[in-house]
Amino acid sequence: MSEWRDIAKTEIHLHLEGAAPPDFIRQLAGEKKIDLSGVFDAAGNYKWVDFVDFLNTYERACEVLKAPEDFKRLVEAVLAESASHGVVYTELFLAPDFCGGGDLIAWKEYLAAMSEGAIAAKAAFGIEARFIATCVRHLGADQAKITSKVAAETASGLLTGWGMGGDEAFGAAADFTYAFEQAAESGLGITSHAGEVCGPDSVRDTLDNLPVSRIGHGVRSVDDPDLVRRLIENDIVLEVNPGSNISLSLFKNLKEHPISALRDAGVKITVSTDDPPYFHTDMTAEYTNLHQELGWEVKDFNAINQTAMQAAFCDDATRKTLLKKFEGA
Ligand SMILES: [Zn+2]
């Protein structure tokens, strides 16, 4: 139903490299004469069979991304794709570790290039974008401090958020408090992945030790009623990615996914795609599936988009303008 493509959408959990359209990666590989055999299936999609294989494919596809200009083009390609699915506001996770390795001068060049890409995409497609710099949990707390320092020193313009991805099971949240406080003090909005692969304890550990207003995924919180109450009381917003969760076999299907249970309990939830081409999803598919399988209607989507805009890491003027798109129904 084209209605679900055209309806205005927000997305606040999207990894830049993980959103790279396969055609874009193939094009860049061709230009650079990089061999990517085995990365794509016969239909041209990313090929992987399990989580380890997914990480391998992801890493190989990322090999073509080197110079700031590559990342500028990637931002444009990803935002063009998002806009084609009705997304009017999006937040992209960027990884400074892979854009200069923590060197401030190099990172500034990458950030400037990616900002140019976002400005060009806004001019072409009307899509508004902000960036969330992320550390990689399994690279450890010392690297996270370096990464949050470069993020804090460049916190302006389109860079408005800080977060953490990577292996949830690695270390304790408290190891990363310094990095998160450093980012928060610079005015960046704060989120962190938790409660995806690991259970409710990982969400509690995050809330206890990191100054987050949002949690990436957090869906495992559903197993702990006390934690659900805490999420509601503390106004924590969950960046839920149903297609990603199902693709990685966290839940068998949408009917068994806790998104409705969390929402009905009063938790603030939103819907995003995480790494869409890898998980064979996009925002149109997410909305279509939520409508077809869980009966969500326009008013339900407007509600989650209002939640996302209220929780968005953007200035209030932008927030106010975009909130108008999700009124009615
Ligand atoms: Zn994610």
Which pLDDT belongs to residue 141?
97
CA of 13 to the centre of ligand 1 (A): 6
Which pLDDT belongs to residue 122?
98
- Give, as residue ranges, everything with CB less than 5 Å from ion ligand 1: 274
CATH topology of domain 2-20+65-324: TIM Barrel (3.20.20)
CA of 273 to the centre of ligand 1 (A): 8
CA of 135 to the centre of ligand 1 (A): 12
Sheet architecture: strand order including 237-240? 9-15, 87-94, 128-136, 159-165, 189-194, 214-217, 237-240, 268-271
CA of 6 to the centre of ligand 1 (A): 24
Per-residue pLDDT tens, the chain, 329 aa: give them.
467 999 999 999 999 999 999 999 999 999 999 999 999 999 999 999 988 899 899 999 999 999 999 999 999 999 999 999 999 999 999 999 999 888 999 999 999 999 999 999 999 999 999 999 999 999 999 999 999 999 999 999 999 999 999 999 999 999 999 999 999 999 999 999 999 999 999 999 999 999 999 999 999 999 999 999 999 999 999 999 999 999 999 999 999 999 999 999 999 999 999 999 999 999 999 999 999 999 999 999 999 999 999 999 999 999 999 999 998 65
Closest CA to 133 of 114, 105, 120: 114
Residues 6+ apart with CB under 8 A from 311: 12, 213, 214, 237, 268, 270
CA–CA dist 40, 215 (Å, integer): 31
CA–CA dist 308, 7 (Å, integer): 15
CA of 132 to the centre of ligand 1 (A): 12
β 9-15/237-240 pair status: unpaired
Residues catalogued as catalytic: 196
Domain boundaries, the chain: 2-20+65-324
Task: Calculate the alpha carbon distances from 259 to 200, 222, 227, 263, 271 in Å.
Answer: 15, 9, 15, 6, 9
> HSE on the CB side for 281, CA within 13 Å?
24
Which pLDDT belongs to residue 52?
86
CA–CA dist 151, 103 (Å, integer): 11
